[in-house]
Structure 1
Amino acid sequence: MKKLTIVLLALLIAMTVGSGVIMAQEDYTILVMPKLVGIPYFNASETGALQAGEDLGVNVEYAGPTQADAAAQVKMIEDYITRGVDAIAVAPNDPAALSPVLKKAREEGILVLDWDTPADKKLVDYSVHQIDDQAYGEHIVDLLVEEMGTDEGDYAILTGGLSAANLNSWIDYGLDYAEEKYPDLNLVTERIPTDEKQQEAYSKTLNLLRAYPNLKGIIGISTPAPIGAAQAVEERGLSDEVAVVGTSLPNDSRPYLKSGALDVATLWEPDKLGYLTVYVALEALKGNEITDGMEVPEVGKIEVWEDGKTIIMGPPTDFTAENVDQFDF
């Protein structure tokens, strides 16, 4: 009887402790905020973030503005600070505009992360990146030259928003690389903002094609930009004359890759990025260290830089007419 009592007591303690751990995680609330909601890229990130919440036993709220608006992000973050969330992971539309509210969040004891797009490095506990920005920017330029079939001639760059730090970083690295490796490439105009909208990229590309009849290539940075560019190029019957490459989802890219209007789309798996963001936030809330080479469920091995806070998910994937049907996001 005494032994049975001890066994039952041990089981009761184990169940209580186990329950306590789970409840502690469920008591955490992590806000994951994209630049905007309602576009396929951030819809896929939402799927991953919410799946992580379910798998890891933590409350995840995925919320953002309906337009790529930094002021709207600030207001929403203010509201979540008042509600008392434990962690805020944000993809800033304008890093400088968000600095005061992120500083306030830290002062309130809230864990602050950025993901997808960097915020002020001094204000974040962790910075979750898809890829190495320099390697990615250079890779995109190499893709353009490869698809143009020449390393000389006119090209243009469409971007999402002029304040988006991650997009600017890829473009800046790419321009530096092009200047050094492909000096005969000619950027016909400054990077062109498209407000993260396919229709805007489409109309801006039509203007480009009229203004620069010798244009040989277009880079689209932001997931809607390459699609809008390809739509315009296809409409004008210039798929064989103007190469289009850029950062886009395979499902959006598929019809244009198949038609030849879009030559290559390059990206990562955004659902995994959403998952990784929640995983990192939860581990940090629990006081666990995030280490280089660690294996993250549903994601794989990650890279952690020497600063201890920059996390790289992994290399990009290139989507082409030949392989795009292997992907569904």
Structure 2
Amino acid sequence: MKKNWLIIGGLAVIIIVAAIFLIPSQKASEQHKFATVVKLSGLAWFDRMEKGTLRFGEETGNETFLLGPPKADAALQVQIVEDLIAQKVSSIAIVPFAPEALEPVLQRAMDQGIAVISHEASNINNVNYDVEAFDNAAYGAHFMDQLADLMGAKGEYAVMVGSLTSKSHNEFIDAAIARQQEVYPDMKLVAERVESYDDQKIAYERAKELLKAYPNLGGFIGCAMTDPVGIGLAIEEMGLQDKTAVVGTSLVSVAGAYLETGAIDAISFWDPADVGYVMNAIAARILAGEAIADGDNLGVPGYEQITLNGKVITGQAWIDVTKENMDQYDF
């Protein structure tokens, strides 16, 4: 009988050991839910960003999705984040329309253990990290250098931002104006920053107003993805392609036709898909208890050697496009 109990006991030990090795741990098999919240749904820029978030989900086996309000409105973004907190998502990546308006709800998310990553919001506080594709001041100064070259370094110009509360857009323009004042004294800013609310139609209407108010206007810088396109349409309609230069942030899929006609001279951008992927990858590292360090390689072009300053992660990821090289990009 004793021998039988020893055999039974031995079998039990074997079964337990086998279970330890053959059954995955809860932590290893745990699937996270990664949400990405953008300024505005249905915009080509954020459609492209969604591709990166979905690619991250496919590669890691996590659930990823992207959503945004039907119009650029901070209150609507706050409501979306509140809903995500109630859903107990694992992380929230967000491109805030007005960073200060999101601070309280993002703090609530962090208090619930949700990893929070922002983009285009280097001044935001209640996040684990903010991701910037590049140094915003260098990007803005680069716009001014492009515009000055197109305008012969003289004449009147105007600037457009998605919102006066958009941190990145205003950092671009701060640097552009500083560059003009320092290097191009014969150029003149004709008006205060014009807001487009990330809306191509509003950008078009504001551009027409400026062109009528300032008949000698020689150039524009547009910061929101829709700005150069709205400006370009106004210029094309008024037959000013050879008189007025346009540079700014956009995508070939949206601005390509105007690059072809010369209504837009040059666009610059960073790949939103890469940012979508990187934000979720950073969130995954936070959830795994891993730190982010200066010089880290995040595994995406332009983010192979990041700079970390406080909470702000900066890559080297901008791309310049003109009519001559636009066929290299399919987004």
What TM-score comes out, normalization by structure 1 length?
0.91
Alignment of 1:19-58 (within 5 A): 20=26, 22-24=28-30, 26=31, 28-58=32-62
Amino acid at match of 2:57: G
Distance in 2 between residues matched to 1:11 and 1:253, nearest whole Å: 60
**Paired residue for 2:85?**
81
* Contact kept in structure 2, 1:156 and 1:217, CA below 8 Å: yes
Which is further off, 67-76 or 289-298?
289-298
Distance of aligned partners of 1:128 and 1:16 in 2 relative to their CA distance in 1, 3 Å threshold: farther
Query: 1:158 offset after TM fit, Å?
Result: 1.6
Q: Does 1:63 align with 2:70?
A: no
Tell whether the 8 Å contact from 1:220 to 1:245 is kept in structure 2 after alignment: yes
Match in the other structure for 1:133: 136
**Does the CA-based 8 Å contact 1:99-1:119 persist in structure 2?**
no
- In structure 2, how many angstroms separate the alpha carbons of the residues matched to 1:11 and 1:262? 66
The amino acid of 2:201's aligned partner reads Q
In 2: Cα distance, 1:255 partner to 1:159 partner: 22
Cα distance in 2 between the residues matched to 1:124 and 1:200: 31
Preserved contact between residue 109 and residue 116 of structure 2 (Cα < 8 Å)? yes
| Separation (CA, whole Å) in 2 of partners of 1:59 and 1:316 | 28
**1:315 & 1:279 partners in 2: Cα distance?**
17
Match of 1:162 among 151, 161, 164: 164
Query: What is the alpha-carbon distance in structure 2 between the residues aligned to residue 211 and residue 312 of structure 1?
Result: 39
Shift of 1:86: 1.8
For 1:16, the aligned partner's letter is I
Deviation at 1:171, TM superposition (A): 1.1
Q: Judge conservation of contact 1:49–1:274 (CA < 8 Å) in 2.
A: yes
Which residues of structure 1 form unaligned runs of 5+? 1-5
Distance in 2 separating the partners of 1:234 and 1:135: 29
Q: Among residues 253, 258, 261, which one is paired with 1:259 in the alignment?
A: 261
Task: Kindly provide the amino acid, as one letter, of the partner of residue 269 in structure 1.
Answer: D
Q: CA–CA distance in 1 between the matches of 2:17 and 2:142?
A: 57
Distance 1:108 1:21, change over 3 A: closer
- In structure 1, the residue matched to 2:3 is none
1:96 and 2:100 aligned: yes
On the 8 A contact 1:22/1:57 being kept in 2, the answer is no
Whether the 8 Å contact between 1:92 and 1:119 is mirrored in structure 2 is no
Pair 1:9–1:138, CA change in 2 (3 A):
farther
Pair member with larger Rg: 2
What secondary structure does 1:88 align onto?
strand
SS in 2 for 1:322: coil
Q: CA RMSD in A?
A: 2.1
Maintained 8 Å contact 2:163/2:195:
yes
Whole-Å Cα distance in 2 between the matches of residues 91 and 242 of structure 1? 31
Q: Check the 8 A contact 1:44/1:271 in 2, yes or no.
A: yes
Q: Judge conservation of contact 1:91–1:119 (CA < 8 Å) in 2.
A: no
> How many pairs were matched up?
319
Q: 1:103, CA displacement in angstroms?
A: 1.6
Counterpart Cα distance in 1 of 2:14 and 2:71: 58
Match of 1:3 in 2: none
Cα 1:143/1:16, change in 2 over 3 Å: farther
Is 1:144 aligned to residue 147 of structure 2?
yes
Q: Look up the match of 2:4.
A: none
Letter aligned with residue 74 of structure 1: V
Q: Which amino acid aligns with 1:267?
A: F
Specify the alignment match of 2:6 in structure 1: none
Q: Decide whether the 8 Å contact of 2:34 with 2:92 is kept in 1.
A: yes
Q: Does residue 1:16 correspond to 2:20, yes or no?
A: no
CA distance, structure 1, for counterparts of residue 81 and residue 309 of structure 2: 29
**Residue type of the alignment partner of 1:79:** D
Contact between 2:122 and 2:312, CA under 8 Å: does it hold in 1? Answer: no
Moved over 6 A (4+): 6-12
- Pairwise CA distance, 1:161: 1.7
Equivalent residue letter for 1:133:
N
TM-score in terms of structure 2 length: 0.90
1:9 is displaced (CA, Å) by 9.0
Cα deviation 1:59-88 (Å, max 9, x = unaligned): 223111111100001111111111211222
CA contact (8 A) 2:91 2:116 kept: yes
The whole-number CA distance in structure 2 between the counterparts of 1:234 and 1:227 is 10
Gaps of 5+ in 2: 1-12
